[in-house]
Structure 1
Amino acid sequence: MHVSMSAWIITIAALLALLVLDFLIVARKPHEPSLREATLWVSFYVGIAVAFGVGLTLAAGGEAGGEFFAGWLTEYSLSVDNLFVFIIIMGRFAVPRQYQQKVLLVGVALALVMRGIFIALGAEAISHFNWVFFIFGAFLLFTAWKLATSKEEDEFKENIVLVKVRKVLPTTEGYHQARLTTRVDGKRFATPMLIVMIAIGTTDLLFALDSIPAIFGLTQHAYLVFTANAFALMGLRQLFFLIGGLLDRLVYLSYGLSVVLGFIGVKLILEAMHHQGVSWAPEIPILVSLAIILGTLTITAVASLVKSARDDRAATKEPAPVAEEVPAE
C-alpha cells in the first residue's frame, strides 16, 4: 500500500487539530467531565476511527482495512490497560480531580510523540533487518508472560528517572493549581504536578515499548501503524472518566491482553521463519488475526463482568459477623 506525502500531511494535520481542540477545551475550563460529556466524546472518537477504517477499506482494499482494525483494537486495549496505571499514579500523587484532565491530555500528547519516534525507528529497522521480527516476537512473548503473572499493585513503581528528579528538584508539599513550578519566598520550586507529568511520561515510554512491536506484528505499513496508535490514544482522556469505575471490574483484562500479545508474538516468529524459507511455518491471514483478537477481547470483557457481578452478589449475601458475648463476672 502506497501512501502519498500529501495523505501523510493531511492525516497528521487532522490528528493535531483534534489534539489542539482537546487541549483548548481543557485549558479553557479545567473540570471533571460529566458521564454524558465523556460518553459523547468517546463515541465521537470511536466513530471517527471506525469511519477512517471503513474509508481506508474502500480506498485501499480489505487487507489494509483489516490490518488497521486489528491494530486499532489491539492498541485501544493496551491503552485501556494504560488507564489502570494512570489511575494508580493519580491516586498515589493525590491529583485533584479538576486537574486530572490536564495530566491525561499531556500524557496522550507525550504518548503520541514517543510512539511516533518508535514507529519511525521500527519501520527503518524492519526495512533493513528481517531478523528484527524474531526480537519483536520474543519481546512480545516475554511481555505476555509478564502481564499474565504480574499483580495490579506492581504495575507502577517509581523508575530511576522519577527517583532522580525527586532527589534533585525541590518540590512543594501541595499543588499550586495546575502549575508545574512556583515561587516560594523568592525561590523556584517544582510542584507535585511536574512530578506527576514525569511519571506519566516515563510510563508512556514503557508502554510504547510494548505496543509498537505488537502493531508491527499485524502490519508493516508505517501509515497504518501510526494511525492505529493515534486513534487508539484519541479520547483516552474522556475514557478515563467514563470507565474509571468499570476498570476495577475488568479483572481478566491482563490475561486477555497477554493472550493477544502472545498470539501476535507467535505470529511474528512464524512469519519471520516463513520469510527465511521454513516451509512448515505459515503466514497467518489478517482476518484470522482480527477474529482471534476480537474474540479474545470479547470473551475477556464478558468473563470479567460476569465474575465481578458474581463477586458482588456473594458479598451482599455474606452474613454480618456476630459479636461474641462477654460472660458476666
Structure 2
Amino acid sequence: MYSVNHVKGFTIIELLVSMLLGLVLMGGMISIFSANQQSYRVVNGLSRLQDNARLAFDLISHDLRMAGYMGCLSKVAFSNFINRLKPSDIDYLMDMGTLFSGYVYKSGTWSPTLNTQLQNLNPSSSADILVVRRTSDEGARVTQAMPNTSADIKVEASISLENEEIVLISDCTRATLFQITNIASMKSGTEYNIIHNTGGSIDPGNVKKELTDDGIPYGEDAAIYKMESTIYYLAESAFPNNQGNTVTSLWRQEGLNAAEELVRGVEQMTFLYGEDTNVDQVPNRYVTADLVGDMSRVVTLRIHLRLNTVDEVSSQGNTITRDFDFFIKVRNT
C-alpha cells in the first residue's frame, strides 16, 4: 500500500502575489508619507510667510506712527525750529520739517533721485524706499539754564549720548537741531556736560554754537533728545534659499549705522500716501510719493507687501506668494 506525502509551503504564484501586494502596500505608505511631507512643507512655509508679514508690518508701523515725534514740541510750534547743522549729504536724514519721505522707481529711474548714501544700499527697484524721521522716546533733562553764547549744556545722564551725535533740544515751544562736538561725564556719572562748538570733527558739524536766535537761552524746562532716522527698503538677502537661489529681503538702516536684514522673502513693497487736501484729518486721495502735493498733509499710509515662502515648497518646485495690505494712521501730523 502506497502513502501519499503532502507537499507543504507556498507555490511560486502565491509568492509572486504576496510580493506584489507588499509592493502595493509599500508604495501606498511611501505615497502617504510623501504627501504628508509635502503638506508639512507647504503649511510650514505659509506659517513662516504670515509671521514674516506680521513682523514686517509691526516694524514699519511702529516707526511710521512715531514719525515726526519731537518730545513735547507740537506741530503747531514747529515754526520755532532751528537747524544749526551745516549742509551735507545726510540732510535727507535730518530734515525734521518732513516727517517721512518716499522714493519711487518709475520708467527706469528713481524719483526723487537717490543720493550717494541711498545708492550705496543697492536697493531693489521692485520696491519703494521709505525714510522716517523722529527723536528718541526719552530725553535728558537740562539741569542748568545756559547763556545763549555758551557752547555747553548740563543735562542728566538718563540716556546714552556720544561725541559727534546729532541731537535736538526742545522746551515744548521751540527746538534746535545740533551736533555734539564733545561730551564729558560729571557728578559721578549722573550728569553730562555737552559741548556744541562751531564745526565738528566729522560731518556735518555746526554752523554756529548759539542755539537760539532771539538771545533767550534754553532753561531747566528743556530736554535733549537723540535724532533718529530709519530707512526701509528691499535688497538681496545675505542668504540663498534651499535651492541656492537669490532671495529678496526687507532691510533697515538706522541713521548712519550699518544696514540690517530684517525679513526674508519680501518681493515687493509699495507705499500709497493718504493726503488730506481739505484739512479734516481724513485722506482724500492715495498716491505714490512722487505725486504727493504736500507731505505735511499725509495722515495715513497704505502699505502693500508681497512675500514668498523663501524656500521652494510647492509640488511644482516653486515658492508660494501672498499679498498683504495694511493701513497706518500717522499721529504727528
Q: TM-score, normalised by structure 1?
A: 0.23
Q: Which structure is higher in strand share?
A: 2
Between Structure 1 and Structure 2, which shows a larger proportion of helix residues?
A: 1
Larger Rg: 2
| Higher relative contact order, chain-length normalized (CA < 8 Å, sep 6+) | 1
